[in-house]
Amino acid sequence: MSLFFQLVVSGLTTGAIYAALALALVLIFRATNVVNFGQGEMATFSAYGAWQLMQWGVPLWIAVLVSLAAAFATGIVTFRLIIRPMMDAPVEAIVVITLGILVLFQAACMWIWGAEQLSFPSLFPHGGFSIGDVRVLASAVGTLAILLAIALAMGFIFRFTKLGLSMRAAAFDHTRSVLVGVNVERMLMLGWGFAAVIGALAAILIAPRLFLSPTMMTPILFYGLAAATLGGWDSPLGAIVGGLAVGVAESLGASYLSFIGADMRIAVPIALTLIILLVKPVGLFGSYKVTKL
Amino acid sequence: MRDVFLSTAIKFGLFAIVAILIPVSAPAYALQEVAIAIAYAIAILGLNLLMGYAGQICLAQGTLFGVGAYVTAILNATAGDPPLPTLPVAAAVAAAVGLVIGLPALRLQGLQLAIVTFGIAAAFPQLLLKMGGLTGGVSGLPIDAPEMPDVMADAPELWLYLISLACAGVGALLVSRMLSGDGGRALRAQLDNPQVAPGVGGHLTGAGLWAVAASCGRVG
C-alpha cells in the first residue's frame, strides 16, 4: 500500500508540471482557438536561456526570473509575428504553423546550445520528509506549491481585475469586445505572453529531473495535451485537475501495467486522450458549444 | 473540352521531358536523392487526398509510411522475400493501419484529430523500439537491393529512380481516378464529415512506401 501512495505522490509532482503546460495550452486555446504544438519547445528555449544566464554567473533565482520575463516577450513576439497574420486561416494551416513553431524553437536550441544533455540545478533544496512509509521530497512540495501559486494568481487576475475581465471578454467574442472598447489584440498578446511564462516555468521545474536537451519537452507536451483534453480545452481549472490526474495515471500505469514499461510510457497519455475524446469530447470541466439558430 | 485536353497534354509533355532530362543530366548521387524525393512525393499525394480533398488533418502520415516500409523490411529480412513483390502487401498493411487510425476520425474533427494523430506519430517510433525483436530496434533492418534487370546492373540509381517514378505514376493515376469518380465526388461533398478518408489515404501512402524502403536499404 505504501508503494501505491509513493506512486501517487510522485505522480502528483509530475502531474503539476503537466498541469502547468496544459494551463499554458488552454490559455492560448481559449484566447486564440489555436492548439500550440510548439508550447513545449518555446518553454525549453526559455529554460536554456536560464541555463545560459547561470553559466554567466547569474544566481539561480534571478536567472529564472529574467528568463521568465524573456519568455513573456518571446510569447508576444511569436504571436505578433507568426500567429496574428494567420488568425483567419483554416485550422489545417494553423496546425502546420504551430508544428513549425515546434521545429523552429527545437532547431534554435540545437543550433545555439547543441544536442547534448545539460544538467540544470533544482530550484529547491535536496532532501524531504516522510509520512509513514511515504517519502515526500522538498522538490515535490515546491513544485506543487508553484502550481498552486500560478493557479491562484490566474484565478485572481481573471476573476477580480479589469485586465482579467478584458482578457476573458476578448477570448469569448473578438468582435463584440472590440465594440465595447477592449483592445482585443493586446489581450490576445498578453494571453500568449502569460502562457509562455507558465510553460517556461514548467520547463524549468522539470529540467533538473530530465536534464536540459532540445527535445526535453516533447514527451511532456503529449501529457499536457492529454491533460487539457481531460480537463476540457476551455477550462483552466480543468487543465490543472487534468494534469494532476494524468500524472497519477501515468505513474500508476507504468508501475502496475507491466506491458507498458518505460519505453511505451508515451502511449499512456495518447491512449487517454483518445478515450476521453471518444467518451466525453469536451472533457471533465469543458462546456458544450451550443449554436443558436 | 479541347482546351482542357490540350493543357493536360502540355502538362504531361513537360513532365515527361523533365522526367527524362533528370537522369540524363544528373550525377548518380543526385539521382538517388531525386528518387527518394519522389518517394516522399507519393506519401504527400496521400496527405493531399486526406487533407486537401477530405479535409481531415492527419499528422500520422509518416506512421503509415513507416508501417509500409517496415512490412517490406521484415518480409525481406526474416522470410527472405525479394523486396519488389512485397509492395502490394506493404500497401495493404499500411491501408489497414490507416483504417484503424481512421476509425476515431469518425468521431473527431479538426484539432482533436490533429492532437490524436500527432500522438500516434510520436508513439510509433517507441512502438518500433518496443518490438525490437521484429524491427531490429535502433539499428534497423537491412534490406536487399531491389532485383535489377541486367541492363541496369551498372546504374542502380537509375533503376531506383525508374521504380520511384513508376510508383508515383501509379499513385497519381489512382488519386485522379478516385477523385473523378463517384467516390471522389462523395469525398469532396463530405468535406465536413468524411469517414473512410484516412483508410483511403493510407492506401496511397502504402504504395509509396516501398520505394523509400528500397532507397533506405540502398543508402544504409
Q: Do B107 and A278 touch (CB under 8 A)?
A: yes
| ipTM metric | 0.75
Q: What is the DSSP string of A71-122?
A: HHHHHHHHIIIIIGGGTTS-HHHHHHHHHHHHHHHHHHHHHHH-SS-B----
Q: Tell me the residues of chain A between 182 and 241 that have a Cβ less than 8 Å away from chain B.
A: 218-219, 222, 225, 229
Tell me what pLDDT residue A74 has.
Answer: 93
Distance CA B29, CA B131 (A): 33
Query: Considering only alpha carbons, which residue of chain A is nearest residue B56?
Result: A92
Segments of chain A scoring below 50 in pLDDT:
none
Q: Which residues of A touch B112 (CB under 8 A)?
A: 229, 277, 281
Tell me what pLDDT residue B217 has.
Answer: 41
Tell me what pLDDT residue A292 has.
Answer: 54
Q: Which residues of A touch B62 (CB under 8 A)?
A: none
The residue ranges of DSSP E strands in chain A, in sequence order, are 128-131, 134-137
Q: Which three cell numbers stand for residue A81?
A: 509575428
Query: Considering only alpha carbons, which residue of chain B is nearest residue A229?
Result: B112
Tell me what pLDDT residue B214 has.
Answer: 44
Mean pLDDT by 10 residues, chain B (220 residues): 68 75 70 74 72 69 73 69 67 73 67 80 75 60 56 62 71 67 57 48 50 42
Tell me what pLDDT residue B213 has.
Answer: 47
Q: Which residues of B touch A37 (CB under 8 A)?
A: 118
Tell me what pLDDT residue B211 has.
Answer: 46
Q: Do B130 and A218 touch (CB under 8 A)?
A: no
Tell me what pLDDT residue A289 has.
Answer: 59
Nearest-5° angle of CA A99, CA A104, CA A110? 125
The alpha-carbon gap from A209 to the nearest alpha carbon of chain B, in Å, equals: 21
The alpha-carbon gap from B128 to the nearest alpha carbon of chain A, in Å, equals: 10
Q: Chain B within 8 Å of A59 (Cβ-Cβ)?
A: no
pTM for the whole structure: 0.79
Distance CA B122, CA B112 (A): 16
